[in-house]
Amino acid sequence: MAALRESGPLSLEQWALALGEFGSVDEIAEVLELLADPMVGFLSGDKYVALDALLEGLVFTHRLTDIEIFADVLEASPDLDPILGFAYGTDGLRVVEVEYETQLLNERGFESAGSRRVILLPPGSLADFSAGDLVGLAVEDGQLTLRAAEVEDEPDLAPVLGKIFAANGVEALDSASWQLLIEDPELFTVPSPPLGELFEAAGYEHQRELLAERGFDFIAYGVQLRTVSVSEQYSLGHDEAVAVVAFVDLADRGYTDAAIDNFDIQDWARRHIAAAPDSFVSLADPGVAVAVFDLGFRNQDPVSDMILEALALELAGQGPRALKPAAHWLAGKAADRLGRVLEAEAHYERSLEWEADWGPALFELAQFASDRGDVNRALSLLGRIDGGTQEVLHEVLQAFLPVEHLELGRNDKCWCGSGRKYKVCHLGKIDESILEDGRWLYKKVCMFAFASEFADRLVELDNLASVNLSEDALRSRTIFEGPALDVALFEGGIFAEFLARRSELLSEKDLATATEWLGTRRSVYDVNSDGAILVDRRTSETVTVTVGDSAAPGDVLSARILVAGTTTQAVGGVVLTSDQQVADVLQVLAADDIDPVELVTVLS
């Protein structure tokens, strides 16, 4: 940072060269690219600038509204964007992301006029101001100071902005503002009109974090940016990415329209698909269809799922033949999320009628076959997918394959003692003991949890559970180990979702066991004897574990005890390492409504 303050603005290579005493240019550049410092500003010419050096002593103004005064909140964009980084380090100020802090802002009685971020001030900070007054935020010793302001200079930004925008029609608002100061260091040394007013007077307009000449098509530019992002994120061609963005945008418009009284979703979908039935033909590719679902429908929402189902059904009916496998798969995903698993299964089967080896439908049916307890069909379906044998589901199913008794002929008496012939009793069938002990049922729920709508929840908890692991432990660890997955299932609500959506596929025995498991609470146990006898710290009850996480005598174990048939298994086990950790875990577990993040944090 000292090098950047002294010599900036600098390109990445120039910055790395200035630090050459510490290593090679390439090595230093790699470190600099990852540097997360609020005082590093990125300019449109691919140069970096030290914001504390650039902005020290300057003052930016903002014209207040009644709602801002009432709530003691300042809209950040566009007037205060260039100095927002200083608010993070100023006592009494707080930068708030509007999208994620609606409850906090509602408590203040504030509704944003369009900013993505706002600055929260201490209550009463704006009590002496009136609507229309100018407030100034000055950068002094790296902090922001709030004060009343009177305009002392009215600069014309048009000439300098014209120079900045000569090579590009749109710029990041903060980058353009910082470049203004590099081009004219005298700007904002005294209070001036707010940036938004100066931009407007110069013939420029802003939208969220972007600035462009008046008349610029921000919507088209946003679509262009999203298309490039989707293309890179999902490794798609341009036309494929265009189709993904267009489909997701259409669904978003439907979601908005659905708020209208008496809105007919199916009629809406029919009209929009009929207008251009071939426009989504790129969705025929499995990777493109998966990108559509992941990008637009990853987060579960009933209205969104109904929109998806309506559009998919119209594509299946009106779209070209090549689209039908994808259309039925998307309709199946929606039906599944809406709680109609048998309809979803029928859609996936229809996908295969149109294209026998359409991968996403094969995978969904393989998971359904597993839920039904048909391991052979599940493995057969996975075997038809390119790379299907590398799926986690394939690995899980290996433990539940029927045992072949090669010493028996088909007409010999079965090994189990039933007296029936081997071919009608156990040939190609799983030993009932495997089905009774609940291990497969638990893995079925785990596999359900790997669906895209739960991915963010799982990743968040798994990251928390992994934070203290060594690099070697991280490398050897799987998602099935540690508490994250189990907490996501039970305290995180995924198990309840599994039971609600998969009950029609489960055997009566699995359904009864799963229903009993649903209310099972995690606890803390003292491990006695040979590690199989546990004493519950909360209830003093004793339990003998026959399957599950191992612990040594004398350990204190936090786990969930699940009973199935004659089997008692401990899952999601964590050995607690101190009396303080034991106390913390017991305190969290005592709550009626346990916070999954809090629980994984204390377990880790």
Instruction: Look at residue 426 and tell me whether its pLDDT is greater than 60.
Output: no
- What pLDDT, on a 0 to 100 scale, did the predictor assign at position 100? 83
The verdict on 456 and 581 lying in the same domain is yes
Q: Of the candidates 327, 356, 385, which is a domain's last residue? A: 356
The verdict on 448 and 597 lying in the same domain is yes
How far the first Cα of the chain sits from its last, in Å, is 35
The verdict on 451 and 545 lying in the same domain is yes
- What pLDDT, on a 0 to 100 scale, did the predictor assign at position 209? 85
- Mean pLDDT over 114-120 rounds to 84
AA identity, residue 99: E
Q: What is the pLDDT of residues 367-376, one digit of tens each?
A: 999 999 898 8
Do residues 557 and 525 make contact, with C-beta atoms less than 8 angstroms apart?
Answer: yes
Q: What is the pLDDT of residues 563-572, one digit of tens each?
A: 988 888 888 8
Q: What is the pLDDT of residues 57-68, one digit of tens each?
A: 999 999 999 999
Q: Of the candidates 356, 371, 390, which is a domain's last residue? A: 356
- Euclidean distance between CA atoms 133 and 519, whole angstroms: 58
- What pLDDT, on a 0 to 100 scale, did the predictor assign at position 153? 93
Residue predicted with more confidence, 45 or 406:
45
The verdict on 573 and 455 lying in the same domain is yes
- What pLDDT, on a 0 to 100 scale, did the predictor assign at position 547? 65
- Euclidean distance between CA atoms 126 and 128, whole angstroms: 6
The verdict on 474 and 333 lying in the same domain is no
How does strand 556-564 pair with strand 567-576? antiparallel
DSSP codes, 415-435: TTSSSSBHHHHTTT---HHHH
Which among 352, 374, 354, 347 is positioned nearest to 362, based on CA atoms? 352
Instruction: Look at residue 306 and tell me whether its pLDDT is greater than 80.
Output: yes
The verdict on 470 and 576 lying in the same domain is yes
- Euclidean distance between CA atoms 462 and 201, whole angstroms: 51
Residue 142, in any domain of the structure = yes
Residue 191, in any domain of the structure = no
Q: Of the candidates 113, 148, 183, which is a domain's last residue? A: 148
Residue 140, in any domain of the structure = yes
- What pLDDT, on a 0 to 100 scale, did the predictor assign at position 186? 93
Residue 235, in any domain of the structure = yes
Do residues 227 and 241 make contact, with C-beta atoms less than 8 angstroms apart?
Answer: yes
- What pLDDT, on a 0 to 100 scale, did the predictor assign at position 566? 80
Do residues 327 and 316 make contact, with C-beta atoms less than 8 angstroms apart?
Answer: yes
Which among 354, 363, 402 is positioned nearest to 384, based on CA atoms? 363
Residue 181, in any domain of the structure = no
Residue 295, in any domain of the structure = yes
Instruction: Look at residue 531 and tell me whether its pLDDT is greater than 70.
Output: no
The verdict on 347 and 460 lying in the same domain is no
The verdict on 137 and 229 lying in the same domain is no
Instruction: Look at residue 75 and tell me whether its pLDDT is greater than 60.
Output: yes
The verdict on 117 and 244 lying in the same domain is no
Strands (E), 46-133: 47-50, 59-63, 73-75, 94-97, 117-120
Instruction: Look at residue 430 and tell me whether its pLDDT is greater than 60.
Output: no
Instruction: Look at residue 103 and tell me whether its pLDDT is greater than 70.
Output: yes
Mean pLDDT of the chain: 89
**pTM (2 d.p.):** 0.77
Map tokens 């991915």 to a residue. Answer: 455
- Euclidean distance between CA atoms 396 and 398, whole angstroms: 6
The verdict on 598 and 450 lying in the same domain is yes
Residue 198, in any domain of the structure = no
The verdict on 455 and 598 lying in the same domain is yes
- Euclidean distance between CA atoms 181 and 57, whole angstroms: 12
The verdict on 234 and 139 lying in the same domain is no
What's the DSSP call for residue 322? G
Residue 370, in any domain of the structure = no
Structural domain total, the chain: 3
ω before 286 within 30° of 0 (cis)?
A: no
The alpha carbon of 536 is separated from its chain's Cα centroid by a whole number of angstroms, namely 36
Q: Coil, helix or strand for 569?
A: strand
* Domain assignment of residue 522, given as a range: 444-603
- What pLDDT, on a 0 to 100 scale, did the predictor assign at position 408? 67
